[in-house]
Amino acid sequence: MPDVNANLALTHLVPLAAKEVDENKVTPGVLGFIVFAVMAVAVWGLMKSMNKHMGKVDFKEKSDEPAGASEPAGATSGKDAGQKPA
C-alpha cells in the first residue's frame, strides 16, 4: 500500500504542473535568489577574512645580520679599495 502522504502530495502538486508556462519567460525564482544570496554572503566572508589576514602581514623584511656586518667577509671598504694588500 503506497504512503498516504506521498499520494496526497502528488494530488496537490499536479495542478501546479498542469499550469500553463510561458516558454518565452524564464525567471530564476526563489531558488535562484537563495543561491545568489548564499554566494554573496560567502564572498563577503572571504573578503573579510582576507582583510584580516592581510592586516597581520609584515611587509618589512627582517635582516638576520647585525647592523655593522652588512658587507661580506672578503669585501673591501671604499677607502681601502685602491690599496694593495700588505
pLDDT band at 77 (very low <50, low <70, confident <90, very high): low
pLDDT confidence of residue 41: 98
pLDDT over 90 for what percent of the chain? Answer: 29
Distances (CA, A) of 12 to 21, 22, 31, 75: 18, 21, 20, 90
Given CA atoms 25, 26, 30, 33 in this order, what sign does their dihedral have? negative
Mean pLDDT of 1-23: 64
Confidence of residue 24 (pLDDT cuts 50, 70, 90): confident
Do the beta carbons of residue 78 and residue 84 sit within 8 Å?
no
Least confident of 1-10, 32-41, 70-79: 70-79
